[in-house]
Amino acid sequence: MKNIYTENNCNKFSIYTLGCKTNQSESDFIAGNLMERGFKLVDSVSGDKPDFVIINTCTVTGAADRKTRQLIRRIKNKNPFSKLLVTGCYTVLNKKFLADNNVERVVSNKNKHKIPDLIYKAACVEKKSSGILAKARPVLKFPDKYEEENLNTKEKYLLKSEYEYESSDNYFHSRALVKIQDGCEQRCSYCIVPAVRGQYASTHSEKLINEIDTLVKMGHEEVILTGIHIGKYGIDFSRNTAGLKKSLNGHGTFQGRNLNKSGTGIDNLKDLTG
């Protein structure tokens, strides 16, 4: 997406990520998308006062839950006038804590890609009502519904109903993260991931090729393929990592790392190293 609309009254946002590289790739998408709409990324912990704070959470361990709770409380205490939006795996099984701590908006994993659109709509509502953000920095209201008829042409262009993750939003790392799949259906007795990430969902290789080509043009020399269970890549549309590698031939030199462990799907991952 091109930066075609930057006069956004300098709305500021902060985003914090806990957990895995898949979470990080999703946060990169959210941050990059907002920046392309004219929002400014700031660090609320360091004293900046963002209009919106996004926390992308993790719940895979007790320690992750504790860090998530601590971060939510710290953000609420330090930035009482910021609009807090919490997403990620912690939100699936911990709704009571989020409600008790007055989190303004909770977004599920499956709707995480809609966060830039949601925040942009909230900023548009505030702009329409007051012209600029009040100096007192009132709590902004997330609309449950917002009529596009009230928006100008530029705003309508940016309010697409669906956004897919785009790895071209890797502004923050020399190693670009490309999310190739989501979900896990292994149902291991000790693991909570299937309950919070859902069924397998892979990205088609044609889209991945376009993303990697874009990243190379941006100057990235290393691309990390990430996902919740990448050994099961393509199982939802009869494809595997061997087929993915074949599709990627000619677009770079690929080397697998840390693939000598045993476990479901590891043989498929080794197809990337040949």
Largest separation between any pair of C-alpha atoms in the chain:
59
pLDDT given for residue 142 in this prediction: 47
Residue 149 has pLDDT above 90, yes or no: no
**Cα–Cα dist 77/102, whole Å:** 11
**Cα 55 to chain center, whole Å?**
10
**CATH fit for domain 168-270, picks 2.60.40.10, 1.10.3720.10, 1.10.10.10, 3.30.750.210:** 3.30.750.210
pLDDT given for residue 234 in this prediction: 85
Average pLDDT of the residues of the chain: 74
Q: Which residues of 256-270 are buried (b: 16+ CB within 10 A; e: fewer)?
A: eeeeeeeeebeebbe
* pLDDT, average across residues 30-50: 86
Percent of the chain's residues with pLDDT above 70: 64
Q: Which CATH superfamily is domain 12-158 in?
A: Methylthiotransferase, N-terminal domain (3.40.50.12160)
pLDDT given for residue 172 in this prediction: 56
In which band, very low, low, confident or very high, does the pLDDT at 267 lie, cut at 50, 70 and 90?
A: low
pLDDT given for residue 237 in this prediction: 78
Does 8 or 240 have the greater pLDDT score? 240
In which band, very low, low, confident or very high, does the pLDDT at 87 lie, cut at 50, 70 and 90?
A: very high
CA torsion through residues 118, 142, 51, 135, sign: positive
The residue among 122, 123, 71 whose CA lies nearest residue 101 is 71
Instruction: Enter the tokens of residue 34.
Output: 């907002």
**Boundaries of every domain in the chain:** 12-158, 168-270
Interhelix angle 241-248/205-217, rounded to 10 degrees, is 40
Domain 12-158 matches domain 168-270 at the CATH topology level: no
The DSSP H or E segment spanning 57 is: strand 52-57
**What is the rounded (10 degree) CA torsion for 47, 140, 67, 23?**
-100
